[in-house]
């Protein structure tokens, strides 16, 4: 027992992706990416690193909003996900397995997917209206954008059903916009 008391606490380094919502430093990501974090840093494509604060989280949609002290940032455009059609191109951007700025593409496989979260986890993720995609999404892509062929965000990558299965899920941009 005494040996456990003197053992240092192991720090876990988590990683995820996000989307700049506003030029003044508001960033959209998943709640599960930032939940329980003691310190959050945001690294932009140009290499700059900023400390970030959590400005809000929504447990039911798995959406979180971060804020960094920056200005004149390139903000993403959120599409009207209600207009997204099954079969259209979908491009997932993120940092799977710590490989920053990776891009995979596929299609929107389905919309309005429900009952994809296992029953034991439903308490933490109640809003289930996901966009399903076969664009390859892996750990580290969470919080990153799923974009259409015009580069507009149609969803926020959130869940995968097993590795390399071609079954990924994104929070529709309309829901992410409303919650954030």
Identify whether the C-beta of residue 171 lies closer than 8 Å to the C-beta of residue 130: yes
Q: Which of 102, 109, 142, 180 is catalytic?
A: 142
Torsion over CA: 151, 154, 156, 157 (sign) = negative
1 is catalytic: no
Known catalytic residue at 142:
yes
* Catalytic residue flag (residue 107): no
Q: Which helix (H) or strand (E) holds 6?
A: helix 2-6
Q: Which residue of the set 17, 62, 102, 173 is catalytic? A: 62
- Phi/psi of residue 176, nearest 5 degrees: -60, -40
With b for 16 or more beta-carbon neighbours within 10 A and e for fewer, the 113-130 pattern comes to: beeebeeeeeeebebbeb
Residues involved in catalysis: 32, 62, 142
């Amino acid at each position: 027992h005494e040996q456990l008391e003197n053992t240092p606490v192991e720090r876990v380094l988590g990683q995820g992706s996000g989307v700049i919502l506003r030029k003044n430093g508001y960033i959209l990501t998943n709640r599960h990416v930032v939940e329980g974090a003691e310190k959050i840093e945001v690294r932009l494509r140009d290499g700059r690193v900023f400390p970030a604060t959590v400005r809000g989280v929504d447990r039911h949609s798995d959406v979180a909003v971060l804020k960094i002290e920056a200005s004149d940032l390139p903000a993403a455009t959120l599409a009207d996900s209600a207009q997204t059609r099954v079969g259209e191109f979908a491009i997932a951007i993120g940092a799977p397995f710590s490989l920053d700025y990776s891009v995979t593409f596929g299609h929107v496989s389905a919309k309005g997917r429900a009952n994809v979260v296992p029953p034991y986890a439903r308490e933490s993720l109640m809003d289930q209206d996901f966009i399903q995609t076969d664009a390859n999404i892996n750990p580290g892509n969470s919080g990153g954008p799923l974009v259409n062929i015009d580069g507009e965000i149609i969803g926020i990558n959130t869940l995968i059903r097993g590795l390399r299965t071609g079954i990924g899920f994104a929070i529709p941009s309309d829901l992410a916009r409303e919650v954030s």
